[in-house]
Structure 1
């Protein structure tokens, strides 16, 4: 895990801003292939997600399982982060290595609010 990953985990926007301004690799992956944006989605750190996106984080970057930040936002019912990702061009129908979409994970985890957001933005449910 990089220091930028850790700032996302701990919601340290000030430190993340300093790291980014000094050239931290926004899309650096940890041993599981997760970026700081994945961490922000998993741990519901909206401001960090917003900061990373505003500095060029790859919204559709996949981890080793093929999951994007949107997959995690759906899995953990992070509806605000899902909306943020979608508004910045996240691929709603992107499939992971198992062929599952964010909507699939929202349905499996009873993340109704996030499922509704995904469907309202064109997620394929068939």
Structure 2
């Protein structure tokens, strides 16, 4: 299950998150999937709450049970503002999950061009291969997404 802080992050309830933190809640508590509240903030593009969590020392590079960081959730949901925040605070942009994928693989697979461009502009390795030998370009061409494919070439 999720802790109260996770729900505050999911719903971008910064004031609620502040209250919970001020009362000593474990900021790095994980849910059953191994995700912290920062993952929920990234998933819902709750930038203000993500910023609060980071300022209070949440582990920005924490990985879930699948080896993903919060940047993967931002890439999945095209949460550009939160992705920019994570990158500006030093999240490992080239982190790979248990399947060898990077956040760029996720952005390309879901045709999230804005996130793909953001990741590329910050130096993500566009030629990184996952565990089955596929790059982000392979993921983009799977659904013949011309725009995302063009930025990966």
Cα deviation for residue 6 of structure 1 reads 1.1
Provide the aligned length of Structure 1 versus Structure 2.
Answer: 126
Separation (CA, whole Å) in 2 of partners of 1:36 and 1:121: 24
TM-score of the two chains, using structure 2 as the length reference? 0.80
Separation (CA, whole Å) in 2 of partners of 1:14 and 1:45: 12
Structure 2 residue runs of 5 or longer lacking an equivalent are 128-153
Q: Which residue of 2 aligns with 1:121?
A: 122
TM-score of the two chains, using structure 1 as the length reference? 0.97
Note the alpha carbon deviations across 1:86-110, whole angstroms, 9 max, x for none: 0000001000011000011011011
Larger Rg: 2
Separation (CA, whole Å) in 1 of partners of 2:81 and 2:16: 23
Q: Which residue of 2 aligns with 1:104?
A: 105
Query: 2:29 aligned with 1:12, yes or no?
Result: no
1:66-105 paired onto structure 2 within 5 Å: 66-105=67-106
Separation (CA, whole Å) in 2 of partners of 1:30 and 1:73: 18
Bigger RCO of structures 1 and 2 (CA < 8 A, at least 6 apart): 1
Cα deviation for residue 9 of structure 1 reads 1.5
